[in-house]
Amino acid sequence: MLASPFSSDDRLLRAVEAIYDAAPEPSRWPQALGAIADYFDDVGAILIWHRTDGSFGTIVSEGLAEAQRD
């Protein structure tokens, strides 16, 4: 795995800013999850929530999009 050109503090700031950007604009969650995954040096992240009808919803970072299709 290649080292990130950004410091840990920079990656944390990018992740926090991405979360705040995604809160009012749900289409930005994949990018926010990607920033969170980058902070933890991971390949991706997933957000799972329980819907009122008993089903589950998911949003994944771009790094996991292919895996979610399976």
The whole-number pLDDT of residue 70 equals: 62
Domain assignments of the chain as residue spans, ordered by start: 8-69
Q: Is the pLDDT of residue 1 over 60?
A: no
What's the rounded mean pLDDT across residues 39-50?
A: 95
CA distance 30 to 48: 12
Q: Phi and psi of 60, rounded to 5°?
A: -125, 155
**Residue 54 Rama label (left phi>0; alpha psi -120 to 50; beta):** left
Res 31: pLDDT:
97
Q: How many CA atoms lie within 13 A of 16 on its CB side?
A: 6
pLDDT of 5 over the 80 cut? no
Q: pTM value?
A: 0.81
CA distance 35 to 57: 20
Strand partners, 46: 60
